[in-house]
Amino acid sequence: MSSNVTAYIAGAPQAARAHLRTFRRIVREAAPKAEEKMSYGMPYYSYHGRLAYFAYFRDHVSLFAMPPLAAYRKQLGKHLTGASTIRFSFDERLPIGLLRKIVKARAKRNEGRV
């Protein structure tokens, strides 16, 4: 695990930390061989190419799961705010199973590109 990612989470607002730790756990469980580092000032995971990023903002957290996410549009609803951006307010419950499924699908897709 990257100490820089640990420091990033520790430096986040208290309201964001639980979600950030959950994002980290989801990615590491869904793609255990992914490399964890910082990129663009955010935690970044690489596995046969770009896999995922996550970040905190003033009033929300986002998981940036590499596209395509169109297949999950209905399940993500209001949380899907761009081609690869999934946004949650600090007080929302995360759909852990769905997020894990998305990361696993991207990891599998990346494996096929090798």
Instruction: Output the pLDDT for position 41.
Output: 95
**Please, where are the H alpha helices in the chain?**
3-11, 14-30, 73-76, 96-112
CB 76 within 8 A of CB 86: yes
- Model confidence over 6-45: pLDDT tens digits? 999 999 999 999 999 999 999 999 999 999 999 999 999 9
Domains and their CATH numbers in the chain: 3-112 (3.90.1150.200)
Q: What is the pTM of this model?
A: 0.92
Q: What is the pLDDT of residue 114?
A: 56
